Structure 1
Amino acid sequence: MKYRVRHLTEYKYGSAVTLCYNMAHLLPRDTLNQICVNRRLHVTPTPIYQTESEDYFGNPTYYFSIQEPHKKLIIDMECVYDITPLERSQQLFLGSVTCGELRQLLAAAETPELRMTKEYLMDSPLIHRSSDLADYAAQTFDDTVPVLQAALDFTQKIFNEFTFDPTATSVSTPVEQVLLEKRGVCQDFAHLAIACIRSVGLPARYVSGYLETLPPPGQEKLVGADASHAWFAIYIPDMGWVEFDPTNNLMPSDQHIVTAWGRDYSDVTPLQGVIFDGGESQTIKVSVDVQRC
């Protein structure tokens, strides 16, 4: 399956920005079942300096600086992806390592892979472990339950018990508040799952990207109606990092497009940087289109 993704971001400032430095997590990342076959990224005004690199987690990054006064900044990214559906053996579902066995493996950490995985057991800027979070997940991730089955059950638990509400939270809403109010968006549900899983001593990471959405039957798809999406992955020996989408109660396959992964949203923010001047107010408009091609 091939997808064309266009992510258009537009900032408007109350007064002219005289200088800005930015880092973007917008460029495509290749994965086991996803390859970028074509891409373009255009910034207006034209940057005086720009370069591509990789961050600590191996995500492609794009750095740029603009040194001319501007009241509008536009970042226009378009990529074409070739995605192959993931094949999952029923034997893996039935015979995966249990939560207790994984905790023991992590405690010993006898391989470089396990030692690196332990990084995703710890707190991160937007995710902090707690006893309340551990209590919410403890029964699901009991020592005797296979990790894969537990992750599937917990994905369904969040889907069933939480309400999707884009007005309930912001980027800075604490996970404990999401747990209490049981409302939020995909980022909140991903953060909640990760926080709970880490609180019971298992490794989980944040995944950002896009999700193909389809219009109601008989209606045309609106331009710009798609959005960035977020989900989580849990580490399972012999399977690697396995992804789960609690917002939609499924395991991502060929309709989820990965941009980046890290400890939480703060590691993979689409655009972050520093501006000089610009006034006291600014607005941002984001338009995302995901189309089959």
Structure 2
Amino acid sequence: MKYRLTHCTKYTYEGAVTVSHHLARLAPRTLPGQRCPWHALEILPIPVGRGVHVDSFGNITSYFEIEGKHEELEVTARSFVEVFATRHPDPALTPAWESVRDACQAEKLTHCSEAGAFRFSSPMVPIGNEYKTYVLQDFPPGRPILQAVVALTARVFKEFKFDPRATDVTTPVSDVFKNRAGVCQDFAHLMLACLRSIGLPARYVSGYLETAPPPGKAKLTGADASHAWISVFCGEVAGWIDTDPTNNLIPGERHITVAWGRDFSDVSPLRGVTLGAGGQKMSVAVDVVPVDE
């Protein structure tokens, strides 16, 4: 599938801002199943300085600085992306989850131990016995890891209600777990807390969903906005495999990956600091348009 992406973020400040510095992670990644041959970032007011680098997780990160009084900031990311069908292993034929856990804890540097960097708690993802108890219902001894991950994904989808009013970007995982409600970011953080609590590497993925589904396909929750899901390391052969608890599926051609990290704090689409302003209002508009062949 080929897509044209537009992600527009607009800040309106209560007072004049004199200086602002920002980081944007809005460029889709190039992956075995995805390529982004074109990406542009339009910024108003025009920055006095800007640059691009790759962060420690391999995400393309843009920096820009604005000087001079301004009461609005508008950042528009435009991209052209191709997403290809990806074949995944039979879940029943993936290794036992304990063997993956143990391999990722090895002291010798391997592909598995490198993935193990994602098995620890992070700023927005705690680990604890309550999450361990919850996840072990789907991870009995010896169960193939992807089979268990698929089961956990389905249970989170069934037991947690999608409710945009239940949480905000700062809501802790403990509240989501207690109240059984949230949005895609919350469900991703919850699954990460569960998997990491039993020693499995899992990372947070940010991206988009196709806005208009193909004929006969249901529209997925989270379309028309940034979306979030997770990726679980399933062993040296299977590698990293994504799963979307908000929609109870393994992502395919309708999911577009932008960035990944330990949690949302590593992949926020746009963040920054300002001098002046006071309060601010933010609006976001996302458009994912399939391109006809």
TM-score, normalized by length of structure 1? 0.94
Q: Note if contact 1:12-1:73 (Cα within 8 Å) is conserved in structure 2.
A: yes
User: Partners in 1 of 2:122 and 2:272 — Cα distance?
Assistant: 20
Partner of 1:62: 62
Tell whether 2:238 aligns with 1:271. Answer: no
What is the alpha-carbon root mean square deviation over aligned residues? 1.7
Deviation, structure 1 residue 100: 1.5
Deviation, structure 1 residue 108: 2.6
Partner of 2:39: 39
Provide structure 2 residue ranges, at least 5 long, that are not aligned to the other structure: none
User: Partners in 1 of 2:33 and 2:214 — Cα distance?
Assistant: 28
User: Partners in 1 of 2:116 and 2:265 — Cα distance?
Assistant: 19
Q: Note if contact 1:133-1:176 (Cα within 8 Å) is conserved in structure 2.
A: no
Q: Note if contact 2:104-2:114 (Cα within 8 Å) is conserved in structure 1.
A: no
Provide structure 1 residue ranges, at least 5 long, that are not aligned to the other structure: none
Query: Taking structure 1 as reference, are residues 215 and 232 closer, same or farther at Cα in structure 2, changes over 3 Å only?
Result: closer
Superposition pairs of residues 111-122 of structure 1, within 5 angstroms: 111-122=109-120
Query: Taking structure 1 as reference, are residues 105 and 216 closer, same or farther at Cα in structure 2, changes over 3 Å only?
Result: closer
Percent identity, aligned pairs only, is 42
The one-letter code sitting in structure 1 at the alignment partner of 2:13 is Y
The one-letter code sitting in structure 2 at the alignment partner of 1:233 is S
Partner of 2:261: 262
User: Partners in 2 of 1:259 and 1:216 — Cα distance?
Assistant: 22
User: Partners in 2 of 1:28 and 1:102 — Cα distance?
Assistant: 29
Deviations 1:201-239 (A, max 9, x none): 111100000011337989xx9xxx700000001001111
The one-letter code sitting in structure 2 at the alignment partner of 1:198 is R
Q: Note if contact 1:99-1:142 (Cα within 8 Å) is conserved in structure 2.
A: no
Deviation, structure 1 residue 115: 2.3
The one-letter code sitting in structure 2 at the alignment partner of 1:118 is G
Q: Note if contact 2:103-2:113 (Cα within 8 Å) is conserved in structure 1.
A: no
The one-letter code sitting in structure 1 at the alignment partner of 2:83 is I
Superposition pairs of residues 130-145 of structure 1, within 5 angstroms: 130-145=128-143
Partner of 1:16: 16
- Of 171, 174, 178, 2:172 maps to 174
Partner of 2:204: 206
The one-letter code sitting in structure 1 at the alignment partner of 2:201 is P
Q: Note if contact 1:234-1:241 (Cα within 8 Å) is conserved in structure 2.
A: yes
TM-score, normalized by length of structure 2? 0.94
Partner of 2:84: 84
Deviations 1:75-111 (A, max 9, x none): 0111010111112343xx2321111211221233434
User: Partners in 1 of 2:69 and 2:23 — Cα distance?
Assistant: 19
User: Partners in 2 of 1:153 and 1:202 — Cα distance?
Assistant: 15
- Of 213, 224, 232, 2:230 maps to 232
Q: Note if contact 1:100-1:142 (Cα within 8 Å) is conserved in structure 2.
A: no
Query: Taking structure 1 as reference, are residues 215 and 143 closer, same or farther at Cα in structure 2, changes over 3 Å only?
Result: closer
Deviations 1:109-138 (A, max 9, x none): 434322221211111000110111111101
Query: Taking structure 1 as reference, are residues 108 and 46 closer, same or farther at Cα in structure 2, changes over 3 Å only?
Result: same
User: Partners in 1 of 2:200 and 2:13 — Cα distance?
Assistant: 43
Partner of 2:241: 242
The one-letter code sitting in structure 2 at the alignment partner of 1:56 is S
User: Partners in 2 of 1:216 and 1:94 — Cα distance?
Assistant: 29
Q: SS of 1:128's equivalent?
A: coil
User: Partners in 2 of 1:87 and 1:97 — Cα distance?
Assistant: 17
Q: Note if contact 1:207-1:230 (Cα within 8 Å) is conserved in structure 2.
A: yes
Deviating above 4 A after TM superposition, structure 1's stretches of 4 or more consecutive aligned residues are: 215-218
Query: Taking structure 1 as reference, are residues 8 and 101 closer, same or farther at Cα in structure 2, changes over 3 Å only?
Result: same
Q: SS of 1:119's equivalent?
A: helix
